[in-house]
Structure 1
Amino acid sequence: MKIDLTETTSSKINQALVSARRAIGTPAIGMVLTLVIVTDEENAYDALKSAGDASREHPSRIIAVIKRLSRSPRSRRDARLDAEVRVGSDAGTGETVVLRLHGELANHAQSVVLPLLLPDAPVVVWWPEGAPAEPAKDPLGALAQRRITDAYSAERPLDELAVRAATYHPGDTDLAWTRITPWRSMLAAALDQQPAEVTAATVEGESDNPSCELLAMWLADRLGVPVERTLSGGPGLTAVRLDTKDGVIVLDRADGSLATLSMEGQPDRAVALKRREPAELLAEELRRLDPDNTYESAVKFGVERLAGPPQAPAAKTVRAAEPAADRSAKQPAGDAPKAAAKKAPAKKAASK
């Protein structure tokens, strides 16, 4: 069921939600959170579709905020709120409200969204693209317990990742981190099967891919070993190599769907490691509403190394993650740490 409202108010939108629920016999109970999506017209359809699919696992009230700014001074003064209310099969397993804010009202989106939040329920804000520099201090982000961004959608993903590290607040997360959850799980399981001291690691993937950088920083942070970042043609993250005193562990995914796990003294095993859709990533992030301390530690590792402009794709470019031992040395105040960049032929991780 869809209800279109023109030049409306938050109060009238709430009344429309109640009327729609009564018309189709759907109760308000059962929704576990409010998901606020801040997007534009171009990306609204895909974002709402992903949120609707994720709501099958997390029934929620979805509020899409679309700001319609105008360059005309007169139009900016003409504040107006248009809304579309969707309930039932048109809104997944919850409710959807699409807000279009015109003129000066676009600068005060929080005043429109606040009356529409589910009472006594968590709030999550998601920016599919164009996230603010500091989500926790954004007027909409300040309403939420969790704030989801996506560094991969930025024009310069590695610079965006550095911004996420510099402005991190408890409750922040990024879909670039969510994309590597299966890789982290698989590598941890491999080390459980073959406990050994890791001496070095290599992460291979596309140039300027924030997920590859996050995985390299996570390994360096948790293992305390030097980690090389080598380049490949993708798609995305393609291989991870762990050098241990008992042999080499290699997780290689050349085609973006099926990976091969190679361990010393064991036969190679095929592992399902497909690239996931935004709906799956969003559903994973909605499973936890507490701060992700592991993400915080990983994203803050080697922030100075990521702060410069991304290097141009080149066959011989190698980025090296700083060993944890080096980070223990304190630098005098005012001296910016300098990251060491290594250059060596790019190599593809493979089991010998």
Structure 2
Amino acid sequence: MIVTMPDTTTSALADEIDELHVERGEAATGRVLTLVIITRSAHLEGALETVNTACREHPCRVIAIVTDQGDYPGPGEDEDGNRAGGQDGGPGRPGQPDGGHGREDAPGDGCSCSKRTEHAGSHTLDAEIRSGSDAGAGEIVVLRPVPDLLRHSDALVIPLLVPDAPLVAWWPADIPEDVSADRVGTMAVSRITDVMHAEDPQAAFDRVLAHPSPQDVDLSWTRTTVWRSMLASMLDQPPHLPIRSVRVTGQAHYLPLELLASWLAMKLGVPVQVERKEGAQAITGVFFEREDGTLGMERERGDQAVISQPGQADQGVSLPLRTDVDCMNEELGRLDPDEVYGEVITRGWPLVDHD
């Protein structure tokens, strides 16, 4: 169900959410956190699709702040530019000449839905509330404020927060100069970025490096979790011989590869070489040079990898590529600061040649 509320206020949105809870026999007390997404229209639906799945394990209220107006119908018009009101051309939908928010019944499914919010050019705040199958295990509030309101994004979200629940902020693509100084970011117990989806990933990560904070984490780091776990398990097995050097291979211009190499250089205190291969997909291999030979793990194809050890038969293991849902599930389930990530981008990053 999607309820549209053009030219509205946050207090009206909060009241509408309460009414929806009563209608559905739900309670906001079941939400474990509030997730605030700050994004442009182009990335909105992709981010919400990820969150819809991730929130089934972590029920939460999602507040999406859209930072641009997007290509929406004009005031009182449908998607084809026709007036959406009656013959008098009023701003309301058919049957709603007063322009109030509306719920349209979708044929056959018995739920309410709507198409789009109206253009924000003549409105201060357009919004929509998604619930039920459109919102995973919670509700989604999409806010489309005019630019002046964006400068007060904290005031926009405060009336909509789940009481006594932590706030997590996520920038799926566009990352501000300093997320810890962002108005929403200052309220968050965890700030999640994803520089790989930024228009200029290198510039975005430079901003991350310039303003490290214990509450910050990037999903590029979360994409290395399985690799780090498997590599640590490999090195725990005897014989525990000194490692002389490490070689890491993978996709060129792929930040998880660079972060994994930085982590290994910091933890092992040995030279780490990065081999970037055009046409490779993600991280393809890690090889430890020891006096008895090479201990390595290489992803050959798809979700399968091979662990090779001197004097032993190769061992096949499952090593699937991590999805955005996998990464968000991990971060939403761990709200404490990721101290290792903070050390990697401050101490480990300079130990590797990232050219």
Q: TM-score, with normalisation over the residues of structure 2?
A: 0.81
- Does the 8 A contact of 2:35 with 2:60 survive in 1? yes
Task: Find the partner of 1:81 among 112, 120, 125.
Answer: 125
Which of the two has higher C-alpha Rg?
Answer: 2
Superposition CA RMSD, Å? 2.0
Relative to structure 2, which stretch is displaced further, 245-254 or 273-282? Answer: 245-254
Task: Find the partner of 2:246 among 201, 217, 236.
Answer: 201
Structure 1 residues 166, 67: closer, same or farther in 2, change over 3 A? closer
Instruction: Name the counterpart of 1:176.
Output: 220
Structure 1 residues 285, 50: closer, same or farther in 2, change over 3 A? same
Take 2:314 and 2:256, find their aligned partners in 1: how far apart are those partners?
A: 25
Take 1:293 and 1:185, find their aligned partners in 2: how far apart are those partners?
A: 16
- Does the 8 A contact of 2:21 with 2:27 survive in 1? yes
Take 2:10 and 2:218, find their aligned partners in 1: how far apart are those partners?
A: 30
Take 1:154 and 1:77, find their aligned partners in 2: how far apart are those partners?
A: 26
Take 2:146 and 2:347, find their aligned partners in 1: how far apart are those partners?
A: 41
- Secondary structure of the residue aligned to 1:164 is helix
Asked if 1:104 corresponds to 2:104, the answer is: no
Divergent runs of 4+, >4 A: 75-79
Asked if 1:29 corresponds to 2:54, the answer is: no
Take 1:58 and 1:264, find their aligned partners in 2: how far apart are those partners?
A: 43
- Does the 8 A contact of 2:120 with 2:145 survive in 1? no
- Secondary structure of the residue aligned to 1:169 is coil
Instruction: Name the counterpart of 1:349.
Output: none
Task: Find the partner of 1:281 among 319, 324, 327.
Answer: 327
Structure 1 residues 155, 229: closer, same or farther in 2, change over 3 A? farther
Asked if 1:128 corresponds to 2:172, the answer is: yes
Asked if 1:16 corresponds to 2:60, the answer is: no
Asked if 1:215 corresponds to 2:260, the answer is: yes
Instruction: Name the counterpart of 2:288.
Output: 242
Aligned pairs for 1:62-81 (under 5 A) are 62-69=62-69, 80-81=124-125
Asked if 1:296 corresponds to 2:338, the answer is: no
Structure 1 residues 94, 340: closer, same or farther in 2, change over 3 A? closer
Kindly provide the CA deviation profile for residues 256-303 of structure 1, in whole angstroms up to 9, marking residues without a partner as x.
Answer: 421111112222111211112111110111111111110011111355
Structure 2: where are the runs of 5+ without partners? 71-118
Relative to structure 2, which stretch is displaced further, 237-246 or 34-43? Answer: 237-246
The share of aligned pairs that are identical, in percent, is 40
Asked if 1:229 corresponds to 2:274, the answer is: yes
Matched AA of 1:216: A
Take 1:100 and 1:143, find their aligned partners in 2: how far apart are those partners?
A: 20
| 1:244 CA displacement | 2.0
- Does the 8 A contact of 1:77 with 1:103 survive in 2? no
Structure 1 residues 245, 278: closer, same or farther in 2, change over 3 A? same
Kindly provide the CA deviation profile for residues 134-184 of structure 1, in whole angstroms up to 9, marking residues without a partner as x.
Answer: 111011111101000012123443443333122111110000000000000
Task: Find the partner of 1:146 among 167, 190, 209.
Answer: 190
Structure 1 residues 64, 91: closer, same or farther in 2, change over 3 A? same
Instruction: Name the counterpart of 1:350.
Output: none
Instruction: Name the counterpart of 2:94.
Output: none
Take 1:95 and 1:88, find their aligned partners in 2: how far apart are those partners?
A: 7
Take 2:199 and 2:141, find their aligned partners in 1: how far apart are those partners?
A: 29
Matched AA of 1:241: F
Q: TM-score, with normalisation over the residues of structure 1?
A: 0.82
- Does the 8 A contact of 1:78 with 1:103 survive in 2? no
Matched AA of 2:262: M
Take 2:203 and 2:241, find their aligned partners in 1: how far apart are those partners?
A: 35
- Does the 8 A contact of 1:146 with 1:172 survive in 2? yes
Instruction: Name the counterpart of 1:47.
Output: 47
Take 2:27 and 2:268, find their aligned partners in 1: how far apart are those partners?
A: 50
Take 1:174 and 1:215, find their aligned partners in 2: how far apart are those partners?
A: 13
Task: Find the partner of 1:269 among 315, 321, 328.
Answer: 315
Take 2:208 and 2:158, find their aligned partners in 1: how far apart are those partners?
A: 25
- Secondary structure of the residue aligned to 1:299 is helix
- Secondary structure of the residue aligned to 1:239 is strand
| 1:224 CA displacement | 0.3
Matched AA of 1:27: A
Take 2:138 and 2:313, find their aligned partners in 1: how far apart are those partners?
A: 47
- Does the 8 A contact of 1:252 with 1:259 survive in 2? yes
Asked if 1:61 corresponds to 2:107, the answer is: no
- Does the 8 A contact of 2:41 with 2:69 survive in 1? no
| 1:88 CA displacement | 2.2
The number of residue pairs the alignment matches comes to 305
Matched AA of 1:9: T
| 1:247 CA displacement | 2.9
Structure 1: where are the runs of 5+ without partners? 306-320, 323-338, 342-352
| 1:27 CA displacement | 1.8
Take 2:48 and 2:66, find their aligned partners in 1: how far apart are those partners?
A: 12
